[in-house]
Each structure stands twice: as C-alpha cells, then as structure tokens.
C-alpha cells in the first residue's frame, strides 16, 4: 500500500482518528499529518498516535500530501473544500469518508481544481460515538468500504485507494454515487429514521415513565438513535430524496401490516413475521459486518458487589481475553446477566468450562454471528 508516503487527514474525530490509528496499526511507514478545527482533537490524535504531525493550518496540512482524506461532518464540506482548493498541488488525490455521495461528488466537482482527482469514499463502519476519544484502530476491519470514482477517474487512482482500504482491513466496493446513496438510504438512513422515531414516541406519546421498563429488544432496535444528532441531521438532508422515498415505502409497508391486523388476517400476519425472520436469519453469520464477529456467552450473576470482578478475574487468570463485556440486567436483589464476547471459538469454550466449574450459571451460549 505504500503508494503514498504522506497522507493528510482533515477532521480528527471518530472516523479520521480511527483511520490514522488503523494505518499505523497495520504498519503504514509514511507520514500522517492531521488537521482539525479543534486544537484539543489534534493534540489527542498526536498523543494517541493517530497522526505524526499536527498541521498549523490547512496550507501546511495539504500542500505536500499525496493523499488527503476529508473526515469532517458533511455540513462543513463546502468550507473545507474551498480552503483545500487554495493550497492543493496538482496530482494529489482527495477522498472522504462521508455517508452521502451524490452531493459530495457534486460539490467536489464545483470547488476543487480540475487537475485534482477526487474519489469519494464511505466506510460502512462506525458507531454511535463521536470524537477522537472514541477512535479505534480496528474500526475499519472487516467492513465494506464504498468507493465512488467519477467516470473519468484514472484506474490507477482507484487502485491506490483500494490498497489503502485493504490495508485498513476493509473491503473496497466500487460503485456509482447514485447506487451508493440508494443502498445506504435503505440499510442505514431509514433504520436511523425509524430508531429515532421509536425512541421519541416512547417519551412523547406515553411519558418518560415507560423508559425504565425498556428491555433488550428496544435497546437493540434503537441503539443507533444514540448517534451524533448533527451528523444524522446532515445525512437526512443531504440524502433527502432517497430517504423520503424510503419513508414512503415504509409508510406503505406499515399500512399493509396494519391492515392485516385490522382485518384479523392471522395467517397473513404469521407469514409476514415468518418472512422477516427468514430474511433476518439469513444475514450471513460468518460474513463481514460492520464489526468483527465475536463469540459470546451470557452468564447469570447475582446482583451483589464484586461479582463482576470475580468473573473477569477468573477468565483473565486463565489468560483468556474478554473483547467485550456488557451488563444486560441489573435489578436489585435479583439475578442479573452479563454478556461476555471473545475473539475465538476456543476462548469461548474455555471460558464456558471455567465459569461452569466455578459455579456460574450460563443461561445462553451464542454461536458466532
Ligand atoms: N460516525 C460514524 O459512525 C460514521 C461517520 N461517517 C462520516 O464520517 C464523517 C465524520 O464523522 P465522525 O468522525 O463520526 O465525526 P466526529 O464528530 O467524530 O469528527 C469530526 C471532526 O471534524 C472536525 N471538523 C469539523 N469541521 C472542521 C473543519 N472545517 N476543518 C477541520 N476539522 C473540522 C471536528 O472538530 C471533529 O474533530 C462524517 O461526514 C460522517 O458522515 C461515515 C461512516 C460512519
Ligand atoms: O453504529 C452503527 O452501527 C452505524 O450504523 C454506524 C454508521 C453510521 C453512519 C454511516 O454512514 C455508516 C455507519
């Protein structure tokens, strides 16, 4: 991937910071120079090792870079592209990580000089967190990563970017902006729309007092509603038409299912539910998702002080690394549950044995998703 010896990242938040960390973690030997409006983010990015050099201004950031990655909220693109265009040198490739591509390609064309190659990008990786403090070197691993070159983009430039994507451990998918925006409107933007509607409904329609009863189902369905509101506002408006079409389709589907219930069509409702289950279950278990798949176990634990320490100590003492830990229920004087996730099947099996032998009750052991 050493097609580039100097990469500039503009915007050192979750995505920009994770890209710097990921490249370094994978052994990128060149220099990464970073620029952000926030001094604190630049200092954090340097301290964490996401960048080698802090740029004092946009000119210093982009002037000698062979690749410039724009990782700022889409609402700031016009401002950033205008500034970049003053200082960029011929032959530089510019890419971005923005969640919408038709709008981005349009303004890149409008604001960048003609001798600059702009190839849009969008990693299907991320989280509901933002900022450099949430950055993680493995964020891009196993994720699909869309690249949306223009019709006249040189093949060599696409290849160079594909190599960067592969170095991050992600999977490049070359696609048109139009098709990209259509796909993500269905699999990312509409689900976000639904999640925020559901969450707001629970408080607006029924009062805040319903929230304490919320269980895993509601949590799973609405996790993404915790995403950065400013970023999602941008996404909704910059992919407005596709999202609106998705909402119309959603309304039709809601009406269809509602009518079945109104008309007591139990068989039809059952078929509808079965079909959804079939489709949901068929999402590849061992395929690539946003996150690296993990092997999980669920442990029942008493709700008492120190129990988590005992659990993790037991697993750690046997040199088994817990990749994720999550408290599922924590109700006073009742059993709670803890989800542990491991990187390998053998870690999962060993942890299972050790915990069983120590008297922990395992309510559920989940296969690798
Ligand atoms: N958060 C996510 O899960 C994903 C986000 N994206 C896209 O990535 C982009 C960045 O998102 P995040 O990293 O999540 O945001 P973030 O809020 O974590 O980071 C954005 C950074 O850009 C900086 N910034 C803002 N305006 C700037 C300017 N004019 N010049 C220099 N720096 C500026 C901010 O100070 C901040 O550090 C967005 O366009 C978003 O659509 C793409 C995939 C996933
Ligand atoms: O948190 C999640 O699972 C996400 O869906 C993150 C995400 C947010 C925005 C994108 O454009 C792509 C991915």
Same domain, 25 and 154: yes
Name residues whose C-beta falls within 8 Å of residue 147's C-beta, 6 or more positions apart in sequence.
95, 119, 120, 121, 158, 161, 162, 165, 172, 173, 174, 175
Nearest CA to ligand 2 atom 12: 124
- State the burial class of residue 212 (Cβ atoms within 10 Å of its Cβ: 0-12, 13-18, 19+): exposed
Predicted local distance difference test score (pLDDT) of residue 326: 78
Nearest ligand (C-alpha, residue 123) = 1
CATH of the domain at 353: 3.30.70.260
Predicted local distance difference test score (pLDDT) of residue 273: 97
Q: Is residue 322 part of a domain?
A: yes
Predicted local distance difference test score (pLDDT) of residue 142: 87
Is 290's C-beta closer than 6 angstroms to any atom of ligand 2?
Answer: yes
Final residue before a domain boundary, out of 175, 199, 217: 175
* pLDDT tens across the length of the chain (369 residues): 578 999 999 999 999 999 999 999 999 999 999 999 999 999 999 999 999 999 999 999 999 999 999 999 999 999 999 999 999 999 999 999 999 999 999 999 999 999 999 999 999 999 889 999 999 999 999 899 999 999 999 999 999 999 999 999 999 999 999 999 999 999 999 999 999 999 998 877 666 667 777 888 888 899 999 999 999 999 999 999 999 999 999 999 999 999 999 999 999 999 999 999 999 888 765 444 444 567 888 888 877 888 888 889 999 999 999 888 877 654 444 567 888 888 888 888 899 889 888 888 775 665 544
Q: Please tell me the distance between residue 367's alpha carbon and the centre of ligand 1 in angstroms.
A: 34
Alpha carbons 105 and 149: distance in angstroms, whole number: 9
Q: Is residue 101 part of a domain?
A: yes
Same domain, 96 and 186: no
CATH of the domain at 259: 1.10.3660.10
Q: Is residue 290 part of a domain?
A: no
Predicted local distance difference test score (pLDDT) of residue 205: 64
Collapsing DSSP to helix, strand or coil, 366 comes out as: strand
Predicted local distance difference test score (pLDDT) of residue 337: 80
Q: Is residue 329 part of a domain?
A: yes
Nearest CA to ligand 2 atom 10: 99
**Would you tell me the crossing angle of helices 266-281 and 240-262 to the nearest 10 degrees?**
140
* Residue in 127, 192, 232, 369 to alter for ligand 2 test, most ligand atoms within 8 A of Cβ: 127
Same domain, 109 and 122: yes
Is 124's C-beta closer than 6 angstroms to any atom of ligand 2?
Answer: yes
Structural domains in the chain (count) = 3
Final residue before a domain boundary, out of 129, 153, 175: 175
Q: Is residue 362 part of a domain?
A: yes
* Residue in 122, 128, 188 to alter for ligand 2 test, most ligand atoms within 8 A of Cβ: 188
Q: Please tell me the distance between residue 153's alpha carbon and the centre of ligand 1 in angstroms.
A: 25
For the chain, how are helix, strand and coil distributed in percent, rounded to 5?
50, 15, 35
Nearest ligand (C-alpha, residue 128) = 2
- Neighbouring CB atoms inside 10 A of 243's CB total 22
Name residues whose C-beta falls within 8 Å of residue 227's C-beta, 6 or more positions apart in sequence.
127, 128, 192
Same domain, 28 and 149: yes
Q: Is residue 114 part of a domain?
A: yes
Predicted local distance difference test score (pLDDT) of residue 137: 94
Same domain, 232 and 112: no
Is 99's C-beta closer than 6 angstroms to any atom of ligand 2?
Answer: yes
Alpha carbons 369 and 348: distance in angstroms, whole number: 13
Task: Compute the half-sphere exposure of residue 34: CA atoms within 13 Å on the CB side of its CA.
Answer: 32
Same domain, 324 and 353: yes
* Closest ligand 2 atom, residue 126 Cα: 6
Residue 96, by phi and psi: left (phi above 0), alpha (psi -120 to 50) or beta?
Answer: beta
Look at strands 31-35 and 6-10 and give their pairing.
Answer: parallel
Alpha carbons 305 and 297: distance in angstroms, whole number: 21
Predicted local distance difference test score (pLDDT) of residue 140: 95
DSSP structural state of residue 185: I
CATH of the domain at 149: 3.40.50.720
Q: Please tell me the distance between residue 250's alpha carbon and the centre of ligand 1 in angstroms.
A: 29
Q: Please tell me the distance between residue 129's alpha carbon and the centre of ligand 1 in angstroms.
A: 11
Same domain, 80 and 199: no
* Closest ligand 2 atom, residue 123 Cα: 12
Ligand 1 cavity residues, CB under 6 Å: 10-16, 35-38, 41, 71-74, 76, 79-80, 97-99, 123, 126-127, 130-131, 228, 231
Question: In degrees to the nearest 10, what's the CA dihedral of 50, 28, 94, 41?
Answer: 0
* Closest ligand 1 atom, residue 74 Cα: 39
Same domain, 38 and 155: yes
Q: Please tell me the distance between residue 126's alpha carbon and the centre of ligand 2 in angstroms.
A: 5
Same domain, 44 and 107: yes
Q: Please tell me the distance between residue 236's alpha carbon and the centre of ligand 2 in angstroms.
A: 13
Segments forming the whole domain that contains residue 312: 295-366
Q: Please tell me the distance between residue 18's alpha carbon and the centre of ligand 1 in angstroms.
A: 11
DSSP structural state of residue 203: H
**CB contact at 8 A, 41 and 12:** yes
Q: Please tell me the distance between residue 231's alpha carbon and the centre of ligand 1 in angstroms.
A: 8
Final residue before a domain boundary, out of 137, 160, 175: 175
Q: Is residue 286 part of a domain?
A: no
Same domain, 117 and 240: no
C-alpha distances out from residue 265 to 256, 272, 273, 306, Å: 11, 11, 12, 52
Same domain, 214 and 361: no
Same domain, 101 and 121: yes
Q: Is residue 238 part of a domain?
A: yes
Predicted local distance difference test score (pLDDT) of residue 363: 59
* Residue in 71, 78, 181, 225 to alter for ligand 1 test, most ligand atoms within 8 A of Cβ: 71
Q: Which two tokens stand for residue 368?
A: 């690798």
């Amino acid at each position: 991937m050493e097609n580039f010896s100097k990469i500039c990242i503009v915007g050192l938040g979750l995505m920009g910071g994770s890209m710097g960390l990921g490249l370094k973690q994978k052994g990128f030997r060149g220099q990464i120079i970073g620029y952000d409006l926030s001094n604190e983010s630049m200092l954090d990015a340097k301290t964490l090792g996401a960048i080698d050099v802090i740029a004092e201004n946009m000119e210093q950031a982009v002037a000698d870079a062979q690749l410039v990655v724009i990782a700022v909220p889409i609402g700031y693109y016009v401002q950033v592209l205008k500034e970049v265009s003053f200082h960029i040198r011929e032959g530089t490739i510019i890419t971005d990580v923005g969640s919408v591509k038709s709008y981005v390609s349009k303004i890149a064309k409008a604001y960048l000089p003609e001798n600059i190659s702009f190839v849009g990008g969008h990693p299907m990786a991320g989280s509901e967190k933002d900022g450099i403090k949430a950055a993680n070197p493995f964020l891009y691993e196993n994720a699909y990563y869309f690249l949306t070159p223009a019709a006249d983009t040189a093949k060599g430039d696409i290849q160079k970017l594909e190599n960067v994507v592969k170095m991050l451990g992600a999977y490049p998918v070359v696609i048109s902006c139009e098709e990209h925006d259509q796909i993500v409107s269905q699999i990312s933007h509409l689900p976000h729309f639904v999640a925020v509607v559901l969450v707001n409904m629970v408080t607006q329609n029924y009062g805040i007092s319903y929230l304490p009863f919320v269980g895993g189902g509601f949590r799973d369905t609405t996790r993404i509603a915790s995403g950065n509101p400013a970023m999602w506002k941008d996404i909704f408006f910059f992919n407005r038409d596709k999202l609106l079409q998705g909402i119309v389709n959603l309304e039709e589907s809601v009406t269809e299912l509602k009518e079945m219930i109104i008309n007591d069509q139990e068989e039809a409702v059952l078929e509808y539910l079965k079909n959804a289950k079939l489709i949901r279950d068929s999402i590849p278990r061992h395929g690539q998702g946003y996150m690296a798949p993990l092997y999980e176990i669920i442990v029942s634990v008493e709700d008492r002080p120190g129990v988590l320490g005992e659990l993790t100590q037991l697993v750690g003492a046997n040199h088994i690394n817990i990749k994720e830990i999550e408290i599922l229920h924590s109700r006073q004087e009742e059993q709670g549950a803890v989800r542990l996730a491991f990187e390998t099947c053998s870690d999962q099996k060993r942890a299972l044995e050790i915990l069983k032998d120590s008297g922990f009750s395992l309510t559920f052991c989940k296969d690798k998703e």
